[in-house]
Amino acid sequence: MLCHNLHKIVLPIDALLCRSLSCHDPSHINHLNTFVSNISNACLSAGAAILPYTGRGSDRGRMPGLTEHVAPVRDKAESGRPRNGVVADIMRKTRAEYHYAIRRIRRDSDNIVNERFAEALLHNNGRDFWAEAKKIRRNKVSVSSIVDGVCTDDDIADVFASNYQHLYTSVAYDVTDMNCIISSIDDSLSGHKMQSTVTCEEISVAINKLKAAKNDGDIGLSSDYFKQSCNDLAVYISRLFTALLVHGTAPSEFATSTVIRIPKGKGLNPTDSANYRGIALSSIYGKLFDLIVLHKFSDQLCTSPLQFGFKAKRSTSMCTMVLKEVIAYYSKHGSLYCIML
C-alpha cells in the first residue's frame, strides 16, 4: 500500500540530483518541501488503511484484575436473559457473583497489582515486570480542564504558550555577540565541503532506532509509520535528506514541535500552570535527521563531561546518586552545608 502511494509521487528530479553546494535555486527548495509533504501524505493514507487504531486513554476506568477475576462471571451472567424459571434464578445468582467480583477487585486493586509484581519477579519474567511498572506509572494524575482561571482548550494553550515564551526569552543576550557567532558559523560552513550523501542503509538503521508509537503531535505521523514501512520509504527519505544537506535547508515540518503538558505529580494543584511541565512532541523526520547527524558526525561532536542527560550510556540518575552519596557521607561524618545554584 505504502509502496503504491510512494510510486505515485512525482519526483523532483532536478532538486534530488542537484549536487551544487552553492545552489540557491528557490524552485529546488520549494520542490523539496513539496516532496516531504507528498511522502507524509503517502504514509498517512497508507497508515489509515493498514495500521490498527486504539482510542486515546482506552485503558481509562480499567481496573487491575478485570480480565482474570471478573470477565468469566460476567460472561456467565450475560449469556441470555430469561425473566423466570431455573435459568432466571441462575442468572440472578451469576449477576450477584459478577457484582461481588467487581467489588472485590475494587477493594483489592492494590493487592492485585502487588501480586502481579511479585509473580513477575518470581518467574524472572522481565517483560511482564516492566509492563506492570508501566501500568502503575501511567495515567495516575490527570490534567485539569481549568488552568490559571481559563477553561477552553485554546485559552489554556495560550496560557502555556505565554509561560514558555517568557521562560525561553528570560535570559538576555547581546545582539552583536550573537551576530558574530552566526557569521562565524556561516564562514566556517562556506569553506567546508562536507560529505553529504545519506544512504538507504543509514536511514534504515535510524528508523530501527526510533522508539515505537511516538507521535509527532502535528500532522499525525507516528514513528510506527516508518518502522512498519517498506524499504522504498528508506530510499525516498535517503534521497530527500541528501538533497536537503546539499541545499542546506530543512522544511518547516522538520522543526515543528508540539509542547504538551504533563502534571508534575500527585498532590499538586492541577489548576495551576506552574504544576505542569512541558514535553515536546517532535517531527519524526527531525528525529531521523538527528540520528543521521549523530551517526555521521558523533566523533566530531564533544560535550561536557558534566553533562549526563541525552548521552549514550549516561543517565541523570548517575549524578543524582553521586549527590545523594556525597550528602550522606558528609551527614554521617560531620556537618553539612549545601548551596544550590
Give me 153's grid cell: 482548550
Phi and psi angles of residue 112, each rounded to the nearest 5 degrees, phi first: -65, -45
Q: Which is nearer to Zn ion, 72 or 248 (CB)?
A: 248
Binding residue for Zn ion (CB under 5 A) from 6, 18, 284, 292?
18
- Binding residues for Zn ion restricted to 23-62, rule: CB under 5 A: 23, 25, 28
- Quote the least distance from Cβ 28 to Zn ion, whole Å: 4
- Quote the least distance from Cβ 291 to Zn ion, whole Å: 25
- Quote the least distance from Cβ 191 to Zn ion, whole Å: 19
Number of residues that bind Zn ion (CB under 5 A): 4
Q: Does 21 bind Zn ion (CB under 5 A)?
A: no
Residue 84 to residue 147: CA distance in whole angstroms: 54
Considering only 10-18, 178-186, 227-235, 299-307, which stretch makes contact with Zn ion by CB under 5 A? 10-18
Q: Which is nearer to Zn ion, 229 or 242 (CB)?
A: 242
Residue 153 to residue 260: CA distance in whole angstroms: 12
- Binding residues for Zn ion restricted to 146-165, rule: CB under 5 A: none
- Quote the least distance from Cβ 13 to Zn ion, whole Å: 11
- Quote the least distance from Cβ 249 to Zn ion, whole Å: 10
Give me 191's grid cell: 569553506
Report CA-CA distances (Å) from 69 to 11, 98, 102, 267.
57, 9, 8, 31
**Angle at alpha carbon of residue 310, lines to 307 and 316, rounded to 5°:** 60
37 Cβ neighbours under 8 A, 6+ residues apart: 253
Q: Which is nearer to Zn ion, 25 or 59 (CB)?
A: 25
Q: Which is nearer to Zn ion, 23 or 219 (CB)?
A: 23
Which of 251, 279, 249, 247 shows the shortest CA–CA distance to 263?
Answer: 279
Considering only 16-24, 49-57, 202-210, 284-292, which stretch makes contact with Zn ion by CB under 5 A? 16-24
Residue 180 to residue 177: CA distance in whole angstroms: 5
- Quote the least distance from Cβ 25 to Zn ion, whole Å: 5
- Quote the least distance from Cβ 27 to Zn ion, whole Å: 9
Contact present, 129 and 121 (Cβ < 8 Å): yes
Give me 126's grid cell: 522481565
Give residues in contact with Zn ion (CB under 5 A): 18, 23, 25, 28
